[in-house]
Amino acid sequence: MIAKVKIAPFERWCGAAKQFLSPKVPRESIAGYEISIETESMLPSGDCDGRAWLVVKDQALHAREQFDIPTTEERYRVCEHMLEMD
């Protein structure tokens, strides 16, 4: 199943997630950005004490380019600290 979620304000991200974003990107520009995650892909995050999900491939590539995300992977995980969760 695919779920649309929004990126949380940078201040709420965990330390590991904060290091994930390029310093070139204005922090306020990413908050509210909508992405789709694969809900079945949930695993414990290897970088923090939260859960993480795979970003849908086409959106992962677009977000990587738009926000200068430092990875060469076509797919990557986002932890719950980066997301607006209900």
Boundaries of domain holding 52? 2-82
Reported as a single tens digit per residue, the pLDDT across 26-39 is 888 889 989 899 99
CB 25 within 8 Å of CB 68: yes
Q: Per-residue pLDDT for 70 more than 90?
A: no
Closest to 78 measured CA to CA, from 22, 2, 11, 5:
5
Which pTM does this prediction carry? 0.83
Number of compact structural domains in the chain: 1
CB 34 within 8 Å of CB 5: yes
Give the pLDDT band (50/70/90) at residue 86.
low
% residues pLDDT > 70 (the chain)? 94
pLDDT confidence of residue 83: 94
pLDDT confidence of residue 72: 67
